[in-house]
Amino acid sequence: MHQDILRLIPSVNELLESPEVSKLTGIYPRTLVVEAIRTVLEDIRQSLTDKKEFAEAQTIDLSPQKLYHLIQQSLRQKFCGIGHAINATGIILHTGLGRAPLADEAAQQIQGALKGFCTLEIERQSGRRGIRYHHVEQLICMITGAEAALVVNNNAAAVLLALDTLARGKEVIISRSQLVEIGGSFRMPDVMAKSGAILVEVGTTNKTYLTDYSNAITEHTGLILKVHQSNFKIMGFTETVDLKDLVSLGQTRNIPVMYDLGSGALVDLQPFGLPHEPTVQESIRAGVDIITFSTDKLLGGPQGGIIAGKKKWVDLLKRNPLTRAFRVGKLTIAALEATLKLYLEENLAVQKIPVLHMMLTPLEVIEERCKRFINGLTSKTKAFMSISMVDGISEMGGGSLPGEGIPTKLISLRSEKMNAGEIAAQLRGNTPPIFARIEQDHVLLDMRTVYDDEVDTIAVALENICGF
């Protein structure tokens, strides 16, 4: 009896020629559409065979509309790849959504300067081969006060390169409270093992004193390492050693001091009413030998890692063959240069770099966005779900300012007809996909991370969802 039902399944060719599916071959390459059809038909065949009863098998919808919908879904899931997304999670540095969104200036630099050939590694005056990092190094030194700098693929690579160069086969002294895991499998003890450095832990989880470091120094010590506790906070009875004191200890005992800062803030956030996050400049002023940080966290640029500090050490790093393996491409250099140029004037940086701008967006502006969103919805949608503006907290994310949320305004959605998981899934199915938070069966849209021109897009998506 199943044979009869199986015969009702259309063939690949029938589907390809149907008016519905032939629309898809205009959008996606034909081979991909054929593959999606095969996948969908195979799934249907499987679920028909699984049904024991004829009547049960008959309940499976084989209409062209249904099949078209499944094929389209399969194509979208498999082949959409990287593309624009709307971040309504309120997490500013969201690793899943690409961490720092780029400034217009950086995006234009990629689009404009790199379409054809570019001056990546050439000296214009002599026409000879130049140095890829020349301009970006100058910018980093100008902004941070460092003597020299180098750019690699990310901060993980920066740390590995620095440890490999300065401490292979030597002891590295680090406080127990700083043996951190950053996520995405970056764990300080593992990175150290990989670099061939020997870990020497000092102090306790909550307290480490300068004498803990000085007592641990031996003839085998190669480096004193401080790691910023980027993504957690130890509260209460605590003691850490200031970078300045570590630097003087290093200088007296002739041992370089390295600081893995992680977040890479180039602007002091405290005057703007945000919690203090150590800046690169203050660490350089404290006399650190080497500092490493990400370029796509608080700095707000493309993915990358910067190593800056004393020329003597940076030059050593530049000669390590790993530097070639960690080399960044022209897309990174272009976007990073454009982002760094904005930091030459702090006002510009704060206005134009989305990460900083989003952190500092006043509550009134976010409130206005929420109101505009609600006013733009039809009464039909408002009847389908209850929609309101509520207070909430945005998060920095990306291992910056842990535990220090920023007050925000959220749109809260709740429907009797559709649960929060379904609403969120439908929003993610939109083009462009919209990512939201779910809390206690409410869908929450944080307007802090939503661009002004995306507000209407979310409203239209919601109208469509409620129109089903």
Dist. CA 207–CA 175, nearest whole Å: 9
* Binds ligand PLP by CB under 6 A, chosen from 90, 309, 392, 399: 399
Q: How far is the CB of 220 from ligand PLP (least distance, A)?
A: 25
> Can you tell me whether residue 308 is helix, strand or coil?
strand
Going by C-alpha positions, the residue among 316, 337, 309 that lies closest to residue 146 is 309
Q: Is residue 177 part of the contact set for ligand PLP (CB under 6 A)?
A: no
Scan residues 273-312 and list those touching ligand PLP (CB under 6 A): 294, 305
Q: Which two tokens stand for residue 87?
A: 């971040």
Residue from 74, 89, 144, 154 touching ligand PLP (CB under 6 A): that is 154
DSSP states of 224-291 as a string? EEEE--TT----SS-B---HHHHHHHHHHHT--EEEEEES-B-S--GGGTSPP--BHHHHHHTT-SEE
Nearest-approach distance from CB 106 to ligand PLP, in angstroms: 17
Question: Exactly one of 100, 227, 338, 465 binds ligand PLP (CB under 6 A); which one?
Answer: 227
Report the distance separating Cα 307 and Cα 138, nearest Å.
13
H-type helices in 354-430, by residue range? 354-360, 363-375, 379-384, 420-429
Residue 163 CB, shortest distance to ligand PLP, in Å, is: 12
Q: How far is the CB of 159 from ligand PLP (least distance, A)?
A: 6
Q: Is residue 170 a contact residue for ligand PLP (CB under 6 A)?
A: no
Q: Which residue stretch of 56-64, 121-129, 259-267, 386-394 sits at the interface with ligand PLP (rule: CB under 6 A)?
A: 259-267
Question: Which among 193-201, 222-230, 268-276, 355-363 is the span making contact with ligand PLP, rule CB under 6 A?
Answer: 222-230
Count of alpha carbons within 13 angstroms of residue 50, beta-carbon side: 8
The nearer residue to ligand PLP, 71 or 174, going by C-beta atoms, is 174
User: Read out DSSP for 320-336?
Assistant: STHHHHT---HHHHHHH
Q: Closer CB to ligand PLP, residue 265 or residue 436?
A: 265
CB of 245 to ligand PLP, least distance (A): 20
Sheet holding 305-309, edge to edge: 148-152, 305-309, 290-294, 257-262, 221-227, 171-175, 198-202
Q: How far is the CB of 135 from ligand PLP (least distance, A)?
A: 21
Coil, helix or strand at residue 198: strand
Give the residue closest to ligand PLP by C-beta: 262
Residue 183 or residue 407: which is nearer to ligand PLP going by CB? 183
For residue 150, which phi and psi values (nearest 5 degrees)? Answer: -145, 145
Nearer to ligand PLP, 94 or 442 (CB): 94
Told to check if 186 binds ligand PLP by CB under 6 A, we report yes
Residue with tokens 């899931």: 77
Provide the token pair at 399.
């291992």
When asked if residue 182 is in the footprint of ligand PLP (CB under 6 A), the reply is yes
Query: Which residue in 74, 87, 89, 155 binds ligand PLP (CB under 6 A)?
Result: 155
Q: Which residues lie closer than 8 Å to 439 by C-beta, 6 or more apart?
A: none
Work out whether 412 is an interface residue with ligand PLP (CB under 6 A): no
Instruction: Please say which residue, 228 or 310, places its beta carbon nearer to ligand PLP.
Output: 228
Residues near ligand PLP, by CB under 6 A? 154-156, 159, 182, 186, 227-228, 230, 260, 262-263, 294, 305, 399
